[in-house]
Amino acid sequence: MYIFAPVLAVLFGWLALFTYFYEPINWILATIFTPLGLFFVGIMVVAFLDIRKGTFVVEDEKVYTTSSLKFYCRSLYNDEIKGFKSDDKYLYIVPKDEKKKSILVSKYLGNQDEICLIIGERFDDLDQLEFEKEAEEILTDETLGETVIERQDKLNTAFTVAKVLNWGTGFIAAWVIFKPEPYQYAIIACSVAFIITVIVAKFFPLIRLYSDKVSISAYPSVFWAVMTSAIGIGLRALLDFEIYDYRNLWMPLVVLSLLMWVIVLFRNKQFSLKGEGILVSLVLLIFVVVYAYGIIIHINCQMDTSQPQRYAVTVKDKTKTSGKHTSYHLSLTQWGKHEEGEEVTVTQIMYKETEIGDEIEVQLYKGEIEIPWFELFKK
């Protein structure tokens, strides 16, 4: 942390400021990345200060944490503790009083085996208790079968179906993201995979759409399938189509997203609009919006039969940005509402084949649902 926290703080600082280094300033990106970058700079500063200050202490009568942030210093007496949960990053010591906050113990602290041993001997494992409670509910639910064996068979089938959906949709999403050929079949497969997953989760009583990472659940989850298919279809739309004007996108995006969200939430006991259910519902809404965006853009662009308006432009400059994903950009002369020097994203092939000073053609389409978009062609 001494080595990497300062480095990461500098990188996030650059993320907060990089949009101001280019003309004209993209205020949409600035609004997103400036607060995001500053937020993570703050986290890195706190992490750096917390290396020596942050501790977790186990005493006979209580447990407590110390931190460089005073509001994060928490303590609980033994008789105030309901039990503990854990995941791959934290041990959560949960109070009986829901108004009090849990104590988070990082798995990166030293003496981890000793910590887990003491906490495990002293308090109840709430993950295990929840798992046993859910398993008992399933195996005693007479609507799932007349005998315990029938109910266990249905649970085994549910796990198999969830596994097939998660793995199958994951492979389809990888196909769409990394090599979508043939293109239309890949997009259709990913779109249908999302819908099938949502339908199965809604009508199969033992399969859940979302699983809390902190808890060990007796119910199989298809969250991976929902996440990967939504990201696949949304990312493909973002990478493959250049939208000229977004004004006609927002209304269908809001309507379709809310419609799908309400359909999924309607009479679904897993989701509620109180407590932790709000967060779970919002996580689902994010992926629904990403999926809806991808569907709308693909329908608008792939099914578009309008005749394009053609603009002859000259390449003023070319740049590429590298990171987890490399993107390629051309700076063009003025056309339509785009000012001279404004960048557009292109494929790697077109980037390599185009030189500064080359003339290219911009074809502007109306869009099947009237969301204007454009393509670039080398003359």
pLDDT band at 317 (very low <50, low <70, confident <90, very high): confident
Question: According to the model, what pLDDT value does residue 212 have?
Answer: 59
Parse the chain into domains and list their residue ranges: 4-53, 55-124, 136-302, 309-378
Q: What is the mean pLDDT of the chain?
A: 85
Query: Is residue 52's pLDDT more than 80?
Result: no
Question: According to the model, what pLDDT value does residue 267 have?
Answer: 66
Q: How much is the average pLDDT of 92-109? A: 85
Question: According to the model, what pLDDT value does residue 282 have?
Answer: 81
Residue 165 · residue 200 · CB < 8 Å: yes
Question: Which tens digit of pLDDT belongs to each residue from 253-303?
Answer: 999 999 988 888 776 666 666 655 677 778 888 899 999 999 999 999 999
Question: Which tens digit of pLDDT belongs to each residue from 357-378?
Answer: 888 888 899 999 999 998 888 7
Beta strands 373-378 and 242-243: pairing type? Answer: antiparallel
Which spans in the chain are helix H?
4-17, 27-53, 112-122, 126-139, 148-178, 183-203, 223-240, 250-265, 276-302, 348-353
Q: 55-124, what's its fold?
A: PH-domain like (2.30.29)
- 314: how many CB neighbours lie within 10 A of its CB? 15
